[in-house]
Structure 1
Amino acid sequence: MNILWDFDGTLFDTYPAYSKIFSQVLEGKVDEKEIYKRLKVSFSHAIDYYKLTKSQIDEIGILESKLTPNDVKPFEKVEEILKFANKNVIMTHKDRHGVLSILKHYGWDKYFSDMVTIDDGFPRKPNSLSYQYLHEKHKIDLAIGDREIDLIPAKELGISTCIFQNKSKFADYEISDYSDLTKLIKSAM
């Protein structure tokens, strides 16, 4: 099975760190749980919702660049799926350096045969061009993400979809943790 993964909120639990950053930029005036909900739609949605200024967006970028791999943790049992898959690829809006530093920190770089990052110049999700590129190159069987914008491009290309810790009308499968996906994949074999 060849799997396309989203990064933030799918492989790694990055939203708590991002919620703290947003809260700091918003001077603690917004609850982190509320920020988390907005980030789960998309980063740009949260920026628009809170009507952040250019300087606030820049400040978020500076604070985000100071995050270390220890500030983000992988989700439990996801490594079992990575080991099981024939191929794993990533499509993310993060920069390549940031992704690689986190993957290397956890020893997970060996599990991924390819990735598309913001550095590659593809349009942002839900545009399907990056997914099409990865699908043509790797014959993707399943796309996993935590937001609808992670699934829409896969659906357009006829790839099966799985939503993690969320709900979506675009999901063929919904899982709350990766032990659910392990069972699902093994039953499909």
Structure 2
Amino acid sequence: MYRNIIWDLDGTIFDTYPAMARAFKAALNELGADAPLDWLEDQARISFGTCSLSLATKFSLPEPDILRVYREQYYRIPLSEQPIFEGVVDICELMLARGGLNLIVTHRGDGSAHRLLDASNISHYFTDRITQDAGFPKKPDPSAFHAMIDKHNLVQAETLAVGDRDLDVQAGQAAGLFSCLFTNRTSAVSPDLTFNDYGILEDFLKAN
């Protein structure tokens, strides 16, 4: 029986990519450039760093300037426009009902992660989180997953990794976890479970 989940945050718990794309577009506009929102969202889905580097290269702009203006623009976007995906809370409650844990490994900074979780009143569902502030190598490196497993004495056979990007799956599988991909897009990896609706994951968990 699965009792624990190590969650990703952006694009997995919260629908944040549209807001990130809007902030990148506003940053470009302020710096005298422009790009389509759908392309920016695709870049952000690969990774935040990929997006900022792509923009710096494509438009010959200093990446620090892009990031500075991006942050100014991003924090102007209401948290209400970065909602929790439907079904996440139900799955968190299921893990807690089984005596397990919900944990987070994210590339987002700790203050920013706390801001999202607290504003949505779901912090209490999560026992612990590892953010970029902890200094672990970024996914797909599994170091942060191993640290979480060791810290909380998790049984790997009872623990899922859930994320929305290939690198989440790669990190989870490298840590010996059953790894689930939340997406409706084509993947270059082989997740143990792919789903585009949390109801599918909930049904799987109730059967396992």
Shorter chain as normaliser: what TM range? over 0.9
8 Å Cα contact 1:92-1:116 kept in structure 2 = yes
For residue 84 of structure 1, what is the aligned residue in structure 2? Answer: 94
Partners in 2 of 1:172 and 1:126 — Cα distance? 16
Structure 1 residue matching 2:141: 3-state secondary structure: coil
For residue 24 of structure 2, what is the aligned residue in structure 1? Answer: 22
May I ask how many residue pairs the two structures share in their alignment?
A: 188
- Give the aligned residue type for 2:203: K
Aligned positions of 1:1-189 closer than 5 A: 1-27=3-29, 29-50=34-55, 51=57, 52-53=61-62, 54-85=64-95, 86-138=100-152, 139=154, 140=156, 141-165=159-183, 166-168=185-187, 169-188=189-208
Segments of 5+ residues of structure 1 without an aligned counterpart are none
The root-mean-square deviation of aligned C-alpha atoms, in Å, is 1.6
8 Å Cα contact 1:126-1:153 kept in structure 2 = yes
Partners in 1 of 2:108 and 2:53 — Cα distance? 19
Structure 2 residue matching 1:19: 3-state secondary structure: helix
TM-score when scaled to structure 1? 0.92
Partners in 1 of 2:110 and 2:65 — Cα distance? 24
- Give the aligned residue type for 1:90: I
8 Å Cα contact 2:106-2:130 kept in structure 1 = yes
